[in-house]
Structure 1
Amino acid sequence: MHKAFLSLGSNLGDRENNLIQAVEEIEKNADIKITCASCIYETDPVGYIDQDRFLNMAVAVETSLSPLKLLEELQRVEKLLKRTREIHWGPRTIDIDILIFDDLEISLAQLVIPHPRMFERAFVLIPLMDLCRDEDLPTEKLRDYIDKCTDKNGVVMYKKFELGN
């Protein structure tokens, strides 16, 4: 089994329900098991800022899928939840990114692991901290990255998330 960390975000429609539906859809795949979920955070948009605030969270998964097969499955979930790609970093019903997959480093046109901008984004790192145990990810290093993020003041706890709700 492989261990991966995913980031989920939504700022269109019922943002919280979009996250819940995405988690439920991911859990339906017999080759993926969500082992832990972060709290949900409300966050300012980054990049393209003329849009509504996001809800973001992170999940840890165990999977027998390869990185590309996991990406394919996550894109299926995005499509099911009506994700469109009209504006780069623009509004979306759901966005699911693979942040880390085991200790792999991958650089392909369709997939880069670790996620190339994750260490610059508090809206990714703060939820990820919720999942951290030092054996998975070095918490001290994550805190250092968060301290350097310019968007950290725009990340606010929205609500706790319990798997199976």
Structure 2
Amino acid sequence: MNTAYLSLGSNLGNRFEMLQDAVRMLQEKPNLKVTQISSVYETDPIGYTEQATFLNIVVEIQSYLSAEKILLICLDTEQTLGRIREFRWGPRCIDLDILLYNDENIESEKLTVPHPRLHERGFVLVPLMELVPQGIHPLTGVSFSEYAEGQKEGVHVWKTIDGVDAFVRLES
């Protein structure tokens, strides 16, 4: 069984419902189980800053699927929910990224794991540390908490979550 961590974010439309819909879609996939979910964080945009704030979560999944198959599920989920890629770091109704896949280092034309900017993004590190508080970056050996120092500004708990099932049933 493989363990992967996915980052989900939204800053268009009903951001919370979009995250819920994405988690529901992941749960419905055969051979994939969402086993943990972080709190929901409201975060300032990075890169292109002239846009609305994001809601972000990190989920842990267990699966026998390869990282490449999980990537296809993520891309299909984004497309089904209406994601349009206008420009890099622009507004989006939903975004799913594979952060970690076991402790593997994967570099292919379509996929890089660990996510290449994982250690630079407080909006990913802070919710990830909820799920793996003693987590270590598999390539650098540096703890996620060390990377997160100085990157917590603009990352605020928006809603505390009590498990995956509770998350998908919450009213927005």
Match in the other structure for 1:147: 149
State how far apart, in whole Å, the 2-side matches of 1:118 and 1:5 are: 11
* Contact kept in structure 1, 2:51 and 2:91, CA below 8 Å: yes
- Deviation string 1:121-154 (CA, Å, 9 cap, x unpaired) is 00000000110154xx2498111100043xx210
Cα separation, 2, equivalents of 1:42 and 1:146: 16
Taking structure 2 as the reference length, the TM-score comes to: 0.90
What's the % identity of the aligned pairs? 42
What is the TM-score of this pair, normalised by structure 1? 0.93
Q: Which runs of 5+ in 1 are unaligned?
A: none
**Map of 2:64 onto structure 1:** 64
Q: For the Cα contact (< 8 Å) 1:120–1:148, is it kept in 2?
A: no
Shift in Å at residue 103 of structure 1?
A: 1.1
Which residue is 1:4 aligned to? 4
1:95 maps to 95
One-letter code of the match for 1:88? Answer: R
Paired residues, what number?
Answer: 161
- Letter of the aligned partner of 1:125 in structure 2? L
In the alignment, the residues of structure 1 paired with residue 12 and residue 113 of structure 2 have an alpha-carbon distance, to the nearest angstrom, of: 26
Matched, 1:121 2:158: no
Unmatched 5+ stretches in structure 2:
none
Q: Deviations over 1:53-73 (max 9, x none)?
A: 000000001011111111001
How many Å separate the matches in 2 of 1:65 and 1:160? Answer: 29
Which residue pairs with 1:38 in the alignment? 38
- Is the Cα–Cα contact under 8 Å of residues 133 and 145 in structure 2 kept in the other structure? no
Deviation at 1:17, TM superposition (A): 0.3
The 10-residue stretch of structure 1 (104-113 or 37-46) with the greater mean CA deviation from structure 2: 104-113
Aligned partners of 2:90 and 2:109: how far apart in 1? 20
Residue 163 of structure 1 corresponds to 164
Question: Does the residue aligned with 1:99 lie in a helix, a strand or coil?
Answer: strand
**Cα RMSD (Å):** 1.4
Q: Name the residue aligned to 1:78.
A: 78
